[in-house]
Structure formats: structure tokens, C-alpha cells
Structure 1
Amino acid sequence: MSKFDYKSSMLRYRILAWIMCLIAVVIVCRAGYIMTAKRDYWIQVSDRLKADSVPVKPTRGNILSTDRQLLASSLPEYMLFVDFKTMRETQTDTLWEEKEDSICYGLNQIFPQVSAEEFRQHLREGREKQSRYWRIINKRVSYDVFCEVRQLPIFRLPRFRSGFNYEEYNARTRPNGLLASRTIGEMYGLKDSARCGLELYYDSVLRGEKGLINRRKVLNKYLDIMVKEPVHGADIVTTLDVNIQDLAEHAMIEEMKKDNGELGVVIVMEVKTGDVKALVNMSRLTDSNGNYYYREVKNNAVSDLVEPGSVFKTASIFAALDDGLIDTTAAYNIDTGGGVWPMYGREMRDHNWRRGGYGVMTVPQVLHYSSNIGVSRLIDRGLYHEHPEKFVEKIHSLGLGINFDLPFPGAQKHAIIRKPVPAKKKGQYLNWSKTTLPWMSIGYETQIPPIFTVAFYNSIANNGRFMQPRFVKEIVKDGQTIKEFPPVCLIEKTYKNKEALHKIQAILEGVVSKGLGKKAGSKSFRVAGKTGTAQIADQHGSYKSGTVRYWLSFCGYFPYDDPQYTCIVCLKKTGLPASGGGMCGVVFHDIAEGIMAHQLKRDHLTARDSTSVLVPDVKKGNILAADYVLTRLGMKTGGGWKGSYATGNPIWGTAQKNAASVSLVKSGAPSKYFVPDVIGMGARDAVYILESRGVKVQLTGRGKVKTQSIAPNTKIRKNMKISLELG
């Protein structure tokens, strides 16, 4: 019979069940309390422990020069914060009170421009406001500075206790400082967004794509769960050459300082490809003390519409030559009078009109000396006078009216060259006057950015091939080229008559060798180009305000015999003196000589003193040893010995003409039975020669043989002894 006490057992089960029910009720009530009364608190705690879809910034791509040097790159920078609310929740604020002085003193040591007291007041304000994101200092700091701040008291504690917080940015740095700053572009400070230049145009390529992570707090550590990997930006390889850019900027600044220039523009273009090797846009600014300084503010080379002045005359003469309207023969000589010529009620003047002008000029001389009257009279006659639209069409066909797609926001896509609009009456035009064509032919009444002018001159240097200016060669990702931008030829042949091209090339060379562009020339190579001096409107759009402003220029290419580079130099200044050849030509000269000197590579074998002896003087001694040494030095010996050791007085020959060889020649009696002449030899060689003939040698002193006791050519006897005195 079972002894199990059923009643007592059931009582225990009931008590256990009631206890479990009571615990369950407490848990449910507690859960309800948390879900209602403490809901806001725990939501805030949850927000601190996790974060969904946190963006991960990609690394911005680099901008590289043509030889892959860094022009712009990304480095981490940090914005530093203090989370005072977290410090109170983790009860670290009591520790803050103890360490506040140390923290403020440490910050003052790191940022000496802000005193410790200023830091104390600033941080106390944030603590009173219980701010979660109170900036320590209102600027980004480098990684080194970030590490220093991270080591201060309290800040060195774990992040969830210290209250120290930060945001990381990919900051843009330029290893070459402000070199080509408007071409490369700039970034807005705190926004991490591109502002101008290549940075802005290729922003989508450089920026990359953001990634996403989910952040969770596990065991007091934050764990990042990658949802989407960031796609880092690609690199762009530009056509800029750091050396040429630096050379052009320094040359331009020096001339602006000397001539009180307000704006300077330089463009250097490679002839065959159209690659822009340097782009300078230097403006004169004034600091708070009234002192001048120079830096790039605007990309004037591609965005400014300016009247080009006399550099446009090349296009006018080239057009007339190619259309067969003029020639360089004497039949087309033009009379420019005394430097002043009436043109439909206005006076056209040459620059030397006060000195009596040029009189009768040939077509080349018209450009050599930049005669306004000569160019305008040549163009304003015959076909062009009757049909000015033919002149404008021809200028467009030369490439000056072509559209450019340049990688710069705000860049001009085309030049402004007015086209005549025919009126109802035949031979008349609505937007045209009789003076328009003469003044347009010398560079007025048109607006052409410098980049278009240099591209036109580049086509002349390139034998008629008009190249699109190229600023970016390729896009690179992880060392692999993902996109190339090959050179683009916009017009394969700008001329109809190749003879006209050769004539304009020769005329441009004469401008530098004979005419007003002499200061642009070089003694080492030939240069071709054209000067330009144009009066421009002042800042109020007036030409008659009493302040005369000038746009000076020189555009050309070098070396003339095998053109490698085309360059335009422009300078804006107020008042006289003003000379395109005398001012811009000097800058062109400095740039051209600097580029050619940098590229000049000489064979080291030619680096010899013409007065020196190229082959060493071989002294008397062991002929086999001399042969060994000469052979090791890369010199060919004469191919055998002449004579014998009879006299011991060999005569060594010099190098034969046009050959690095040495003839080892010996002379004297062909016998070994005579005492040789060893004076001047070293002790080793003298002993060797004498003892090889059976003569015993006794030495005194040091150095070379000064005297010998037995005269040379004495017949050698058995057991003969000789004393040699060394000196």
C-alpha cells in the first residue's frame, strides 16, 4: 500500500503556483509601468544603444597632375564636441568639477589662440545648457590635434562615459598650396561640398557613394553592422604640369608687381594635343593694411569676355590671305599715312601717330609693327567691305567662333563675334555700321575669352589642326583607368590654301625677330607670336571717364621650327605705360625659356672642358700595367707595341683624332743589354725594369726616381749594382 501523502503534496504545488502567478503579475505590472510611465526614458536609452541606417562617408578621390603628382587629396579632420547630458547620466559630471582646470589648461596648450579662462567660460555655458553637442572649438582639427585632445583628463575615458564626441570629415588638402587653386577648385569648409573648378565639375566622380551601417551596443561596446559598403571616389588625372604652372605663376606675379597690374592671365597649351599645362588667373588684392597681395579669385581665362585687341589682327590677315584677297607681294603694299587715317567719320590711329606713323607698309610689316590703319584698310575693301558677313564667316571657320565644352562651371562656351543682319535694302545691315568692320578687324567690337585666342594660335602652330583644350586625361580607380579623354580635333584643317598658313607662320616669326615682339624672343630658339594692346572700358562701362584701362597681351608659340607649346599672357592695368610686347612679352620670354631649359637633356659625355686633356698622360713604366689601366678606363690602346724595352724610355702617344684610343709607343735601341733611363718613374716600376735586366737595385729616399748612379744606355755587366735616389 502506497504511503504517498496526496493532500500535503497538492498543498505544496498550490503554494508554488500562487508564487509563480504573483511573480508573473509583478512582471506584467512592471512591463506595463515601463511601457507607459517610463516609455520616454527607455526610448532615449534605446536610441543611445542603437542607430539604424547610419551613413558612412566615402573617401573623396584625388586630383593628380599629368605626371601623377598630388594636386588635391583627402585627409581626415575632426569636429570636437562634449556631450554634457551623457556625462550627467553616467555621473561623470562630478569628476568634471575636479578636472575642469586641467582640461581648460590642456586645451589652451593645444589651442594657444584661446585662453584657459575663455575655454572655462565656454564649457561652463554648455554644461549649464546640458547640451549633447557642445563644440570644444569652432573649427576642424587634424588627426594629430584630435589625438592630443583625446588624451586630456576625462576625455581619455571610454566614449560612453567621457562625453567626448567627434565627427570625422574628409578634408581637402593641396600639397602645393594655392598653386592653380581656381583650376583645381575649392571645397566649402564645413559642408564638405565642392565650390568651383574641377572639384565641382567632376564632383560626382570624386565624391563616390555613401555606405550604410546599423550600430548596436553590445557589452558596453558599439558594434557596426555594415549594410552597404561605401564606394570611394575615383581619381582624375589632369593635364597640368606642376613645374610649368609654378613657373607661369611666379613670372606673372613678378610682372604685375613691376607694372602695377590688376589682373594677370597665363595659359600654356601643348601644341599637338591641346593639353593645358598651366592656367593662371592672378588678381591683385588689398589686405587690411593697404598692402597688395596676389591670388586667384576667378577663372578669368575661361570666363571673361574681353576685347582681344591686336592679337585678333592675326586672324584678320590670315582670313584675307586664305581667301586670296591679299598677298605678301609688293602689289599689296598699303599706305598708312602719318599714323592717322579717316574712317567713315572717325579717325583710326596707329600707336606711333605722334611720331609720324609708318607710311607705306608691306603686308608682313603691318603685323610686325601692329598697324591699326594697315590691317583695317586691308580688310575694309573689296569682298569684305561689300559683304562683311563673309569676313565673320571666315573668322568662324578659323575656329574663333567654335563652341568649347570646358570642365569649369561658368566657363564661356563660345566667343561673341557679331554677325551682320541683312536689312530689306540690299547692301545694308540692321546691326552694322560702316566703322564696324574696320574696328572689328583690329580686335574691337568682339569679345573673346583668352582660352579661345590661345586655341586659335595653337592651330596655326599645329599646321591648321584646331584642338579642343584638354584639362583632364583620364579617370583612375584603384590604379586602373576606367575612362580616358583622348585629344579631340575640332577642325582638321582651318585653311583652304596651305600657302596662306605658311605665310602667316612666317609673319608671326617676324613679329618677334623684327617687330614689336622682340622681348618675347630667345637667343636659344626661335619664337613666333603677336602683341596686343587694347583700351577697355572701366568698371562703370565707360571709355571716357578719365581713367584709361588697358588689356595687354602676347600670344605665340615656341620653338618656331618644331612647335611644342603655345602660350598667351594677358595683363590688365590702369594708365601708361602700357605695352603688350614690352610687358606681356617679357613674361612669355621667361616662361618659354624656363620650359625649354627644364626639358633640355644633354648627354653627360658632352659635359667636358674643351681645354682639358681627355686622355691621361701615361708615364714611363710597366707597359702591361698601363695597358691594363687604360683598358679598364674604356680607352682603346693602339693595338700592339712598337719598339722594345731596350732603352726603358718609352714615349706614350696622345689620343688620335676622333677616337678615344691611346697608342702605346716605345722607342730606342732594340736591346735589353743596356741600362734604361728610369728617372721620373715610381720605385716599383724602376725596380721591375732594372731587375728584369739582371741589375741589382739599391733605393734611398721616397717618391719617384730623382737620380740613378749608372747613366742610361750603359752596357749591363754581370752582378752590376745601381743606386737610385728617390725624391
Structure 2
Amino acid sequence: MMERRLLMAGGILCIGLSVVLGRLVLLTTVQNQKLAQIASGQHQKNLTLQARRGAIVDRRGVSLALSVPAESLFVHPKRVTERVTKQAPALATALHLPLTAVQETLRSSEPFLWLKRRATLQEAGQVRALRIPEIESVETERRFYPQGTLAAPVLGFVNVDAHGLAGLEQAYDAELREEPTKVIGEKDGKGRTIFVHEGATPEPLRVRLTLDVGLQNLAEQELGQAVKATGAQGGSVVILDPQTSAVLALAQVPTFNPNTPATVRPESRRNRVISDPYEPGSTLKALLVAAALDTKRARPGEKIFCEYGKYPVGKFVIHDHHPYGWLSFTEVLQHSSNIGMAKMGERLGKETYSTYLRAFGLGRATGIGLPGESVGLLPPPNSWSRINLVTASFGQGLATTPIQLANAYAALANQGALMRPYIVQEVLNADGKVVEAHGPQRLWQAVRSDTAHQVLAMMEKVVAKEGTGWRAQIEGFRVAGKTGTSQKPDPRGGYSSHARIASFVGIVPADRPRLVVLVVIDEPKTAVYGGEVAAPVFKAIAQQALTYLGVMGDSPKWEGPATETPPSVKDGERAAHPLLQPIVANARDSGA
């Protein structure tokens, strides 16, 4: 009997040991990974930090966009006490957040929430000074634009996840952004993050532009002053290298600060230079002249009767601002006669004229490489009536973007060859090796080289004493240019009786072109003509730009007051040029 009891007890004991042993095997082998994950979850917090971004620099390496150290602050709302909740106002002030947003985060039932991502180091330091252990942080980076509003519509901006949303930030998002980083925060017994493991990640690429911060700064300053002085709605400036169509400056008013893009309306963030077509008015006349000369339908010296200022076209009457009689073709351009141009347009014909406009790049995207580019408006010639051809001859009834028109003039300055404008020079890796290069790209010959030379000679007359663009004269330099004054369409139909666009586009020096500068002023109030409003802005920009670039004029002698010292323009001294001083200072302050 005793033996049976001992056997039963032993059997039960063996069964129990077998169960325990089986459970042990199960836990250490089959469920090992699952249990490790549970244990890890009790002591670790896995976070994904969004990607860092590479820098965007100008053609000389000055930083325009870069990533700087930051901290992302987070909280576990379920562990927040009333003591922490009472400090919500101080947290809101330190982080520049609405008080209601902070309170909502602290009172949430979620296990984890970001309090503020990519906070500045100063903001994070102010939070730490509040001594709230429940508010934790992890090191990261944020996008910073050290030049503020400079070239903002070109650069664009990013969202909180470091994804480019506009401009070059969007166009080169893949190149600028590295892969997101996985980090592990070790938690102590109270659930506080005490250590972060971070693996090594490859450096993002860097984008170098053709833009020059000195010229960009100059263009923005002069344009801003002109818009303010004339009470205009806004304006644009384009500066191109005519030999390559490299973009040296793209400026616009209004603009915005990409460090705080949410504080302005979306229309202020739009890159109007590439996305907003406008009717160019008389600045288009140079392209008609080029077409007429290239087809040998006209000669510069031939006479055209301008009808003493009134030219009936069906039920319409075309007017000139002055009752001209007989003018040479050169004088038609010099005095900007609508009637003379209308007659030449009719002689040329709609098919030929339209073909030449397209040859100069109108009606198609330039391919500059920025998002949101418009093709403008160039209706097919089979839809043109006689009045459409006539008005198109002086730049009304069709539309072009500022970059399209500036590039068309660059073709005239480049012996008739149309180039593709470009703004990105190269993409480099962390070692400075070029991984993607861009350069001059010839598209086609818009007009013969001798035609281009003739047009430039005729455009020089526009800037002469008797021309509409005399205010664009620059002492010591030959300037070729064209004024423009166009009516703006009325949303209710037809054209506005008062709203005008004043513009001027110039090539300098005319005999050895280095710059093409387009100035567009939208709805000026003090005056409306391009020769009065835009030509002086061109002069101010081009004169300083030539000095900055070290381009010598025909009269190199310094003409300033005797007490002044001639400005230095040697290559090695350009960094000290006044146009660069605030830019370089900002870059140094940012650690670039």
C-alpha cells in the first residue's frame, strides 16, 4: 500500500517536473523572441526620426538652406500629473505654441505624443529650465534658411517631416533628404528615456545653385524699393547670363520667410517668375522685329507710315501714344509705335509670327527645373483673327512668364541661340564629389546671328536720348533694351481701364553681353509707363551688378566725387563687396 502511494506521488512529481520543464523549453525556445520583445517594450521606446537634409548653397558656396541642431520634445500624457498641467502656460511660452494646444496634449489619453518636433535649442533649453521630468526630448535637426526671405520662392520650404513642399526643396527632395533614422530610447524604472542608440547614417547630398547671393540681394532690394515707391501690387526681376542662360537672380514682391511659411498666404509663397504669365506688351516687339528681319520681310531703315496715331482694324482702332507719320523700322521700335508694329505683323503673317515666337521659347515650359512652371499662353495661329494678329504684334492677347521673356532676350544676346535656363549647377556628396552636373544646353537657333546683331543695334536706339528707354542709360556702357506698358485683363471681360504692367528688359553691355535683366512692375500707381517706372530699376540693378562682377565699361575712369575711392572689382576681393557683406555675415552667424 505504501509502495503504491510512493509510486503515485513519484508519478505526480514527474508529471509536474515535466510540465515545468516543458514550459521552460517553451519560454526559452519557442516564445523567446516574443518575450524579448515584451521585455524590450518595457524598457525601450522605439522612435523614428525624420531624415536630415543636405544644404543648398549659391554658386560661391554661401548657405541658403541648411540643417541645424534641434530637439523634438515628447510626453507620455498618461503619466502627466496636475503639477505638470499647471505649467502649461510656461510650456506654451517657451515653445511658442498656443496654450490650448499644449493643454490638449498634456490631457490626452494617448500613451505617447510629440509636444513639439524640431524645436530650437533655445526653446528646448527653456523647457529644461522648467524642470519637468515628464517632458523628454531626442536630438534631431531642423531646416534653417540663414538669409531669411532671400530667394525664398526659389528655395521653397519643408514640412515638419522634412519633406520639401515647394521650390528647390520639392524639386530636389530625393537628393537632399536621407533615409529616416531609427533610434532606441532606453527607459528607466519610471519610464523616462535615459539613453538613445543611434546608428551611423550616410550624409545627404548638397545642391549648388547658379544664383549669386550678391546679385539676388541687389535685385530684391531695388525691386522692393521700386514697388514701395510706386505703390505697385508687386513685381519681378530676372537676371540671366546670356551666354549660358544660367540664372543669377530671381526676385519677386511679395515674398515670404521660409523659416515661417505658415504665417503668409499661399499666393505670397508662389514663385511668380515662373508660374504667373502676363501680357508683355511692347517688350514683345523686339521678337517681332527679329522675325521680320530674319525672314527678310523688312529692313531697319525702311519707312513705315504710322497713320498719325490712328489705325482702323475692322471695328477696332489701334492708337499710338504720339501721332507719328513716317518712321523707319528702327524708329518704330525706338518710339514703340503700336501701329508700325501692327503693320509689320500683318506683313509677316500669323503663321510665321507664331512660329518665331515659339522658336524664342514662348508657349512652352523653359525646363528651368522648378515645380509649378507655366507654359504661358500662345494660342495656335489658326485661331487668330486679324485683330488677334495685330494686338499680338504689340504684345497683347498672349501671355508669357518673366523667365520665358528674359530667356528669349538672352537668345538675342547670344547670337540668336536659345539656351535652356538652369538654376542648379551641381549636386555634390559629403566628400565634395559631383554626382549630378548641369550646364549650358543649347536648344536651337531662334534667328540667325546677323539678325540678332541687327536687333541689338536697333534696341540700342530705344535707350538713346530720343527713345522710350533713355532712363536705362548707364554711363560707360552700351545698353540695348525695350520698354513695355501693357493693359491687364479685367476679370469681368476685356481690359482694365487703369491697371497696367510696366516693364523693361535690357542687355548690357550691348557689344559684349554679360547680363540680361528683366524688370516687371505690377500695377504701379505713380506712373504707368515702362520707361518711367521699370527702366530706372534696370539701371540701378545693372550698374551695380556690372561693378560687382568686375565688368569694365568703355570709360573705366572713376566718375564719382573726388573724395571717394574707386570701388575694387578684383576677383579676389569680391567677398568684401558691399552687396555681400550682410549675406556673408548671416552665413557665418549660422555656422555655415
Using the size of structure 1 for normalisation, the TM-score is 0.65
Deviation of 1:84 after TM superposition, in Å, equals: 4.3
Q: Contact 2:44–2:184 at 8 Å: present in 1 too?
A: yes
Shift in alpha-carbon separation, 1:282–1:108, aligned structure 2, 3 A = closer
Q: Given the alignment, which residue of 313, 318, 322 partners 2:290? A: 318
Q: CA deviation at 1:351?
A: 1.8
**How many angstroms apart in 2 are the aligned matches of 1:130 and 1:346?**
72
2:379 counterpart of 1:418: yes
Alignment-derived partner of residue 316 in structure 2 = 346
Distance 1:126 1:24, change over 3 A: farther
> CA-to-partner distance for each residue in 1:482-514, whole Å, 9 max, x for gaps?
1111211112x3324x44322211111111123
1:12-31 matched pairs, under 5 angstroms: none
**Correspondences of 1:486-635 after superposition (within 5 Å):** 486-491=439-444, 493-496=445-448, 498-514=449-465, 515-543=467-495, 547-573=497-523, 577-600=527-550
Partner Cα distance (2:149, 2:471) in 1: 29
Secondary structure of the structure 2 residue equivalent to 1:435: helix
Q: Give secondary structure in 1 for the equivalent of 2:385.
A: coil
- Residue 313 of structure 2 aligns with an amino acid whose one-letter code is M
SS of 2:283's equivalent in the other structure is: helix
Within 5 A, what are the aligned runs for 1:346-385? 346-352=316-322, 357-381=323-347, 384-385=348-349
Cα deviation, residue 263, structure 1: 2.1
Deviation at 1:380, TM superposition (A): 1.7
1:437-476 residue pairs with structure 2 within 5 A? 437-476=389-428
After TM superposition, list the pairs within 5 Å mapping 1:634-649 onto structure 2.
none
Once residues 425 and 493 of structure 2 are traced to their aligned partners in structure 1, the CA distance between those partners, rounded to angstroms, is 39
Measured after TM superposition, the shift of residue 240 of structure 1 is: 0.8
RMSD: 4.1
- Amino acid across the alignment from 1:49: H
Q: What secondary structure sits across from 1:416 in the alignment?
A: coil
Structure 1 residue 41: deviation in Å? 12
Is structure 2 residue 273 aligned with structure 1 residue 301?
yes
Q: Which amino acid aligns with 1:313?
A: K
- SS of equivalent to 1:73: strand
**Paired residues for 1:45-84 under 5 Å:** 46-50=40-44, 55=48, 57-84=50-77
CA distance in structure 1 between the partners assigned to 2:147 and 2:414 by the alignment:
32
Mapped partners of 1:263, 1:507: distance in 2 = 30
Q: Render the CA deviation track for 1:141-186: whole Å, top value 9, x for unaligned.
A: 212332442354352xxxxxxx433355532110000111110111
Distance 1:277 1:551 in 2: 23
Per-residue CA deviation, residues 516-566 of structure 1 (Å, 9 max, x unaligned), is: 10111112322110000110113444425xx52112211111122321110
Q: What is the CA–CA distance in structure 2 between the aligned matches of 1:50 and 1:233, rounded to whole Å?
A: 28
Q: Deviations over 1:250-300 (max 9, x none)?
A: 111111111111120110001212111110121389xxxxxx999943211
Partner residue in 1 for 2:434: 481
Amino acid at match of 2:459: L
Q: Hey, what's the Cα distance between the residues in 2 that align with 1:522 and 1:293?
A: 38
Shift of 1:399: 4.0
**Deviation at residue 25 of structure 1 after TM alignment:** 6.8
Q: Is the 8 A contact 2:149 2:255 kept in 1?
A: no
Alignment-mate amino acid for residue 374 of structure 1: G
Q: Answer whether contact 1:281 1:297 (CA < 8 A) is retained.
A: no
Contact 1:170 1:192 in 2 (8 A): no
- Distance in structure 2 (CA, Å) of the matches to 1:126 and 1:43: 28
Deviation at 1:477, TM superposition (A): 0.5
Corresponding residue to 2:300 among 328, 333, 342: 328
Structure 2 unaligned residues grouped into runs of 5+: 1-7, 28-33, 257-263, 564-592
The separation in 1 between residues aligned to 2:250 and 2:419, in whole angstroms, is 17
- Cα distance change, pair 401–18 in 1 and its aligned pair in 2 (3 A): closer
Deviations 1:361-399 (A, max 9, x none): 111111111000111112323xx34xx312222333344
- Match status 1:391 vs 2:384: no
Looking at structure 2, the residues matched to 132 and 379 of structure 1 have their Cα atoms a distance apart, in angstroms, of 73
Write out per-residue CA displacement over residues 186-206 of structure 1, whole angstroms, 9 at most, x where no aligned residue: 112x34321110110111111
Cα distance between partner residues in 2 of 1:122 and 1:396? 59
Percent identity of equivalent pairs: 26
Counterpart amino acid of residue 57 in structure 2: L
Deviation at 1:449, TM superposition (A): 1.3
- Structure number, greater radius of gyration: 1
Q: In the alignment, which of 155, 166, 175 is matched to residue 196 of structure 1?
A: 166
In the alignment, which of 103, 108, 111 is matched to residue 122 of structure 1? 103
Cα offset, 1:108, TM superposition = 7.4
| TM-score (norm. length: structure 2) | 0.79
**Aligned partners of 2:207 and 2:502: how far apart in 1?**
34
Quote the Cα distance in structure 2 between the aligned partners of 1:112 and 1:142. 11
How many Å apart are 1:408 and its aligned residue? Answer: 1.8
- Contact 1:550–1:572 under 8 Å retained in 2: yes
**Paired residue type of 1:563:** P
CA spacing shift, 1:532–1:108, aligned 2, 3 Å = closer
Distance across 1 between alignment mates of 2:196 and 2:54 = 28
Matched residue, 1:266: 237
**How much has 1:611 moved relative to structure 2?**
11
- What letter matches 2:345 in structure 1? I
In the alignment, the residues of structure 1 paired with residue 96 and residue 371 of structure 2 have an alpha-carbon distance, to the nearest angstrom, of 40
Gaps of 5+ in 1: 1-13, 34-39, 88-92, 156-162, 286-291, 422-430, 613-727
The answer to whether the Cα contact below 8 Å between 1:56 and 1:230 also exists between their aligned partners in 2 is no
| Residues 392-401 or 365-374, more deviating | 392-401
